[in-house]
Structure formats: C-alpha cells, structure tokens
Amino acid sequence: MKKFVQFALLPLMVTASLAAVAAPAAKPEKLIQWRQSAYRVAEWNVARLKAALEGQYDKEEAVAAANALEGIAGSGIESLFVPGTEQGKGWHETSAKPEAFKDTKRFAELSLSFSKEAAELAKLVPAADQSAVKAQFGKVTRTCKTCHDAFKGKD
Ligand code: HEC
C-alpha cells in the first residue's frame, strides 16, 4: 500500500517541483514587480531583525522576522528573472544587471545560499542566544551583499 501511495504521488511531486522553478506566465511588468516586492519585504524583515538584536534582545520579534525571511528566501525569487525582463519597469525601472540573465548558474547558487542561511537563522532564533543569532544574521546579510555586488546596479 505504501509503495502504491508513493507511486501515485510521484507525478504530483514532480509537478510541484516544476512549479517551483517556473514563474507563472505573466507580463514582464508583473514579474519585475513581484521580484522587487519580494526583495523589499526581505529588506523590511532584515530591518526588524536588526532592531530586535540591538540593545535589549526582542526574541519574539526576531522569531517573526526570521520566519518571514526564511519564507521569502526560499520562495524562488530567482525564477522571476526570465528572458524579456532584462529591462523594463516593475514598480520602477529594474536595477538588475544584465549579468543576472547571463550567469544564471551563479545567480541560482547565490539565491540558494540566501535561502540556506535564512533557514538556518529561523531554526536558530527560538533556541539560541543573542550573540549566536547575531552571527547567523550577519551570514544572511552577507548573502544579500554578495549578490547585489555581482547582479544589482543602482536603484
Ligand atoms: C541572488 C541575488 C540576490 C540576493 C540573495 C538578494 N538580492 Fe536584493 N536584489 C537582487 C536583484 C537582482 C535586485 C534588482 C531587482 C529588480 O529591480 O528587478 C534586487 C533588489 C533589491 C531591492 C530593491 C527592490 C526594488 O524595489 O527595486 C532591495 C531593497 C533588496 N534587493 C534587498 C535585499 C536584501 C535585504 C537581501 C538579503 C536579505 C537581498 N536583497 C538578497 C538580487 C539579490
């Protein structure tokens, strides 16, 4: 029975994993808006974490922000950088560099390390102390900077 269930679910699982890499068909303007929005929400949660870690540690706020960041980082933002969106306006003109569409392998790698470090942070926050959380938070924000240095121009 277990075997049968696994077998029956396989096509569903394959479909689900494909859906994770392919952006839904949408106008370039939408795709750019979505990725700009996702990164803005990441920025918001980085700011919340920074504030929560300053002075008296606000763990509850840190947990909420780290969970949100983990969700965004693992949401597949990289799938929104498709051909046809190299230039154009979302909420405003895209600041993605042309390299983001050329070196897609490196872009995917950096997206993955963002996702991994954010997941590690979300795991750590409820259990660890302020200094361990601070150290992991530093690893997360370095992934932002590394990617921006390579793939993002001026806003
Ligand atoms: C894998 C690469 C990558 C990672 C990781 C990444 N970014 Fe970005 N980010 C970009 C690119 C490319 C853009 C430009 C998007 C566009 O305008 O189309 C961008 C845009 C932004 C923007 C501007 C959004 C707008 O309205 O135009 C902010 C803010 C931002 N990122 C914050 C962050 C923060 C904070 C992190 C980490 C917590 C992060 N990013 C991680 C590549 C990345």
pLDDT digits (tens, 9 = 90+) for 113-122: 999 999 999 9
Q: Is 114 in the pocket of ligand 1 (CB under 6 A)?
A: yes
CATH code: domain of residue 113 = 1.20.120.10
Task: Report how many domains make up the chain.
Answer: 1
Cβ density class 4-13: b for 16+ within 10 Å, e for less:
eeeeeeeeee
**Which range marks the domain in which residue 62 is found?**
28-151
Q: Which of 97, 37, 41 is nearest to 64 (CA)?
A: 41
Answer whether residue 7 is part of any domain: no
| Mutation choice for ligand 1 from 69, 107, 111, 152, CB with most ligand atoms inside 8 A | 152
Q: Which amino acid is at 119?
A: A
Residue 61 lies in a domain: yes
Q: Is residue 4 part of a domain?
A: no
Residue 14's pLDDT band, with cuts at 50, 70 and 90, is very low
Tokens for 74, please give them. 């693992």
Tell me how far the alpha carbon of residue 2 lies from the centroid of ligand 1, in angstroms: 43
State the Cα angle at 134 between 115 and 67, rounded to 5°. Answer: 40
Q: Does 50 map to a domain?
A: yes
Ligand 1 contact via 45 beta carbon (within 6 Å) = no
pLDDT of residue 55: 84
Q: Could you tell me if residue 101 is inside a domain?
A: yes
For residue 132, which of 65, 72, 59 has the smallest C-alpha distance? 59
Q: Does 111 map to a domain?
A: yes
CB distance 34 to ligand 1 below 6 Å: no
